[in-house]
Structure formats: C-alpha cells, structure tokens
C-alpha cells in the first residue's frame, strides 16, 4: 500500500538566501568517479543531474579546485576551461528542468596518493599518514605520509579556491558548497589531531581556523556575499583515514560555526555522526551548533522521510540531504511524496563506469527524458 505524504512539510517550499526551493529535500554531494583524467565530467553527467532536478537543491559531487587538490582517480575538477564547459552543460540541463544546483569545492589534502601527483607527495597541514587506501588509476593503494605545507604555500591554495569559485560562477552554478567535512584538507587544518603546526596556521583554535576562514572569505568575495555560499562540516566523522576527532570538538567547531555565521554563509550542511556509518554523535551537540548559526541548517546522515519530519517538527533542522537514496531513485522526491518503494543501487555502480547504474535509472513512470 502506498501512502500519500503530499501534505508533509518536507514537501513545502523553503527560502534559501536568494533561492526559492520547492521542497526541503537536498541531494547530497556524491562522488561517482566518471570523469576523465583531465577532470572533465562526461557528457551524460548532464542527464544524471537533470534527472534529479526535482530536489529542492542539488549539490554536485566533490570537485577538485586544482591539480594539487586531487585525491581520487576519475573525479572532476573546476579549474580549466574544458571542465567549465562540461559543467555548463550540466547546469543548463538542470535549469531547463527547473532545478537548482550548487558545486562542492574540494581539496583532499592527505587523503590522496603520489600516483595522482606525478610521484610527488600529497600535501597536508602536518606529515601524518592516514590509515586506509587511496583510489588510483591502478586500483586501491596504501596512503602515504603527506608533505607538510610550507607557511608561504597556504595563501596560494586560498587563491586556488578563489579561482575555482570563479570558474563555478562562470559555469552558471546557483552557488557553491565549501567542502570542509570528511577529513579533507580544510578539516585537516581544523582538528588538532591532524594539525600539529607551530606557525600561524596551527596551535590555538584561532590559528587552526585561519586557513579555512581565509578560504571562506575568498569564496564569498567571488560570489558577492554569503547568500550563495554554503559549507559542509562533519565534527563527528572519523572516516576516511580513520582520523581521530578533535580533542574538544564543541570548542573548536563552536568557534568555527560562530565565524561562519558572522561571515554570512547561507547554510551549514552538517553530517550528524560518522558519514554513512552511524548517527552516534560522539559527544557533539548538533542542536547547539545549529543554534549558533544564523542561516539555514541542512541535516544529513541516514535520514528517512519519517526522521526528517520528526526532526523538522522538533525544530532541529531546516533542510534534509539524502545521499545513497538518490543514486537509484532520480525521482526520489516524488517517490517519498507518494510513498512509492525505493530502488537500491548495488555498490558496484557507486564509483566508476559509464552510464550504467548512473544515468540510466528510470523514474517510477519510466525513463526520465532530458532535454538539452
């Protein structure tokens, strides 16, 4: 029996900065590893994203801001004209179906491998090796000890973010999300477990937040204010790299959220628990973090329609992002609204490959035709 949820507040409009969202469902950033070695998304990425345009907001897969930012084979970039051209096809197709899409700006830092850098070491705040393996063109390879960035290299990375943010604007995205989650470069600077620097970028909370906040300021400058700039955080996530949590997450992330609020960002997108794996808050008070932020709060991690409704009713979030459910359900919003069953994507389709398991999932009523 299908049950109708049309009246659910999750499917009512929400105003996010300058954007009018038709519902409170956000499509999570999802790395799908289908770009070429030059970081250019395939032509059929436009079909994939446009098929999902019913989401209140789409956030693109994590997208490298520079060659140095890369940590996984076959992931897209946003720093060359060819990349911008391909992303423009995506935004055009999404807009044509009436959707809205932000691009997620990414630098992986130590979660990378020399194979992706012509043999050079990945960079990080400090030379601390992550656990686990990197996804290279030759399959999975053990992570290595990264090279600690020189102090005078850090402003150049801020400039890379500025350039990438401009490229995203040129590609006609509706905004950008700064990826400050999942233990990639920004979060490596934030946590005292991965940042053991002794210069102005390490030590005190103020120093550890300096580089991420410089990035935030640069991106805001490009976008003419924070109303089209969001950020993703994950204070309780230990993956990838089996990265230890900060020694005092509420002090560190509390100060971060205060600064993000002051900067005028349009939303924080919070992974509540360990990404994909658990909703255990590990001592982080997500409601308290939300209360310190002036803009919208997007809640993520293992949400269902029921949990989203309960969380909204309790006043604990504004928007809800769904990741895995969007892979095999391009019309997820409609399926949840009508109580239709959800399809499940086998894991083999998550990363790598072509159209199969990517842009060929049908909607409830058959294939979704995309006009270009």
Ligand X SMILES: Cc1cc2nc3c(=O)[nH]c(=O)nc-3n(C[C@H](O)[C@H](O)[C@H](O)COP(=O)(O)O)c2cc1C
Residues marked active site are found at: 184
- 335-351 burial, b at 16+ Cβ within 10 Å, e below that, comes to bbbeebeeeebeeebbb
DSSP percent split of the chain into helix, strand, coil, nearest 5? 35, 15, 50
> Given candidates 21, 26, 29, 215, which one binds ligand X under the rule CB under 6 A?
29
Backbone angles phi, psi at 38, to 5 degrees: -90, 5
Is residue 27 near ligand X by the rule CB under 6 A? no
Is residue 235 near ligand X by the rule CB under 6 A? no
CB of 198 to ligand X, least distance (A): 30
> Given candidates 47, 54, 61, 246, which one binds ligand X under the rule CB under 6 A?
61
CB of 267 to ligand X, least distance (A): 14
> Given candidates 126, 300, 311, 359, which one binds ligand X under the rule CB under 6 A?
300
CB of 313 to ligand X, least distance (A): 20
**Whole-number Å distance between alpha carbons of 251 and 254:** 5
Is residue 51 near ligand X by the rule CB under 6 A? no
Reading the block at residue 208, the tokens are 């550890």
H helices of 275-315, in order, are 286-291, 305-313
The closest residue (CB) to ligand X is 323
* Nearer Cβ to ligand X (302/334): 302
Reading the block at residue 2, the tokens are 């299908």
Count of residues that bind ligand X according to CB under 6 A:
22
Is residue 31 near ligand X by the rule CB under 6 A? yes
Is residue 134 near ligand X by the rule CB under 6 A? no
Backbone angles phi, psi at 363, to 5 degrees: -85, 180
Site string for ligand X, 149-188 (x = CB under 6 A): ------------------------------x-xx------
Is residue 30 near ligand X by the rule CB under 6 A? yes
> Given candidates 137, 247, 276, 356, which one binds ligand X under the rule CB under 6 A?
276
**Whole-number Å distance between alpha carbons of 92 and 113:** 34
Is residue 302 near ligand X by the rule CB under 6 A? yes
As to burial, measured by CB atoms within 10 angstroms (0-12 exposed, 13-18 middle, 19+ buried), residue 296 is buried
Q: Which stretch binds ligand X (CB under 6 A): 64-72, 279-287, 307-315, 317-325?
A: 317-325
**Whole-number Å distance between alpha carbons of 238 and 285:** 16
Supply the Cα-derived Rg of the chain in whole angstroms: 19
Is residue 28 near ligand X by the rule CB under 6 A? yes
Is residue 230 near ligand X by the rule CB under 6 A? no
* Nearer Cβ to ligand X (96/324): 324
Residue with token string 């063109």: 137
Q: Which stretch binds ligand X (CB under 6 A): 64-72, 115-123, 134-142, 320-328?
A: 320-328
Site string for ligand X, 104-133 (x = CB under 6 A): x-----------------------------
* Bond preceding residue 179 cis, omega within 30 of 0: no
> Given candidates 16, 21, 58, 62, which one binds ligand X under the rule CB under 6 A?
62
Contact footprint for ligand X (CB under 6 A): 28-31, 61-62, 104, 179, 181-182, 232, 271, 275-276, 300-303, 322-324, 350
């Amino acid at each position: 029996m299908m049950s109708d949820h049309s009246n659910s507040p999750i499917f009512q409009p929400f105003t996010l900065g300058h954007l009018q969202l038709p519902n409170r469902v956000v499509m999570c950033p999802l790395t799908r590893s289908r770009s070429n070695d030059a970081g250019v998304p395939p032509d059929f990425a436009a079909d994939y994203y446009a098929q999902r345009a019913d989401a209140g907001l789409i956030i693109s897969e994590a997208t490298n801001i520079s060659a140095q930012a890369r940590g996984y084979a076959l992931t897209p970039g946003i720093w060359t004209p060819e990349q911008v051209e391909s992303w423009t096809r995506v935004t055009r197709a999404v807009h044509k179906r009436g959707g809205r899409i932000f691009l997620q700006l990414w630098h992986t830092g130590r979660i990378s491998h020399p194979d992706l850098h012509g043999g050079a070491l990945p960079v990080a705040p400090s030379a601390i090796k992550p656990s686990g393996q990197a996804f290279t063109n030759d399959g999975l390879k053990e992570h290595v000890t990264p090279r600690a960035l020189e102090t005078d290299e850090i402003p150049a990375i801020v400039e890379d973010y500025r350039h990438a943010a401009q490229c995203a604007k040129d590609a006609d995205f509706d905004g950008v999300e700064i990826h400050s989650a999942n233990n990639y470069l920004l979060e490596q600077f934030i946590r005292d477990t991965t940042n053991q620097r002794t210069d102005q970028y390490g030590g005190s909370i103020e120093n550890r937040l300096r580089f991420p906040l410089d990035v935030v300021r640069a991106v805001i400058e490009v976008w003419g204010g924070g109303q089209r700039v969001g950020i993703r955080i994950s204070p309780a996530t230990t993956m990838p790299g089996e990265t230890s949590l900060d020694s005092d997450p509420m002090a560190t992330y509390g100060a971060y959220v205060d600064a993000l609020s002051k900067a005028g960002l349009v939303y924080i997108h919070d992974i509540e628990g360990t990404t994909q794996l658990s909703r255990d808050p590990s001592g982080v008070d997500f409601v308290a973090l939300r209360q310190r932020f002036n803009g919208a709060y997007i809640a993520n991690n293992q949400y269902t329609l029921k949990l989203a409704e309960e969380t909204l009713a309790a006043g604990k979030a504004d928007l809800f992002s769904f990741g895995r459910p969007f892979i095999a359900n391009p019309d997820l919003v409609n399926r949840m609204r009508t109580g239709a069953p959800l399809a499940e994507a086998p894991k083999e389709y998550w990363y790598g490959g072509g159209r199969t398991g990517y842009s060929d999932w049908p909607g409830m009523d058959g294939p979704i035709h995309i006009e270009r």
